[in-house]
A and B are shown apart, each in its own frame.
Chain A
């Protein structure tokens, strides 16, 4: 069975602090994809990143960075120098290679960045 765990329900930080959102996944597939999405109060999901299981390189995009470690089945997301506009719910998702292309979403982490 596939599963995504985001153990942090809610995190509050002060602006300019760095914050890491954890994501741990379970899958028996050897080929799979991992995603991060941002959901601001408007509700629309904003795509942040997709990573396939064969690419363990860490990625940096501006203030965002992702650490993918297959050894620990984790795909953590770090925001550097957080800003108030980063306040949102962040979801990690997993898509296996079973042919159904379904996404399994984690429960989400609500990030509050305080001014």
Chain B
């Protein structure tokens, strides 16, 4: 089946630093990748949608300069949280969709803690 990996699975960083999270589709080409954020005891909130080779489309209220998304290849998308602050601490989940299907395959998530 379709497998999506994320790296790292967890990260702790100091306030003001930048953190990069990778999302890879391991056995299929991902035309579209999605990034979600989930705060404790809340649902998944879509942050942005990225298509390979194009600029990401951000959801309303998501700062594009703070959450940089790059989808440079059909198997890799990265999310960089720039100048992270404690309020950015959250569980970040990516998903990927192949061109042939509308189903999203989810990564295992990355838990970010900003001190």
Residues of A within 8 A of B (CB): 33, 37, 42-45, 47, 50, 91, 95, 97, 100-103, 105-108, 110
The docked-state distance in angstroms from the alpha carbon of A101 to that of B111 is 25
In the complex, the answer to whether B49 meets A44 with C-beta atoms within 8 Å is no
A100: chain B residues within 8 A (beta carbon) = 49
In the complex, the answer to whether A43 meets B43 with C-beta atoms within 8 Å is no
A97: chain B residues within 8 A (beta carbon) = 102
Residues of B within 8 A of A (CB): 32, 34, 38, 41-44, 46, 49, 91, 93, 95, 97, 102-106, 108-109, 111
In the complex, the answer to whether B49 meets A106 with C-beta atoms within 8 Å is no
How many CB-defined contacts (below 8 Å) exist between A and B?
45
Q: Which residue of A lies closest to B6 (CB)?
A: A44
The docked-state distance in angstroms from the alpha carbon of A40 to that of B44 is 14
Q: Looking at chain B's contact residues, is the secondary structure mostly helix, strand, loop, or mixed?
A: strand
In the complex, the answer to whether B43 meets A106 with C-beta atoms within 8 Å is yes
A sample of 28 inter-chain contacts (CB < 8 A) reads: A33-B103, A37-B106, A43-B108, A43-B109, A43-B111, A44-B106, A44-B108, A45-B109, A47-B106, A50-B103, A91-B43, A95-B102, A95-B104, A97-B102, A100-B49, A101-B97, A101-B104, A102-B34, A103-B34, A103-B46, A103-B95, A105-B43, A105-B44, A107-B42, A107-B43, A108-B42, A108-B43, A110-B41
Check A103/B104 contact, CB under 8 A, given A91-B43, A108-B43.
Answer: yes
Check A102/B49 contact, CB under 8 A, given A43-B91, A50-B103.
Answer: yes
Check A44/B109 contact, CB under 8 A, given A91-B43, A107-B43.
Answer: yes
Most buried by B among A43, A106, A110: A43
In the complex, the answer to whether A45 meets B106 with C-beta atoms within 8 Å is yes
Q: A44 to nearest B CB, angstroms?
A: 4
Check A102/B93 contact, CB under 8 A, given A33-B102, A45-B106, A95-B102.
Answer: no
In the complex, the answer to whether B102 meets A101 with C-beta atoms within 8 Å is yes
Most buried by B among A37, A42, A44: A44
A50: chain B residues within 8 A (beta carbon) = 103
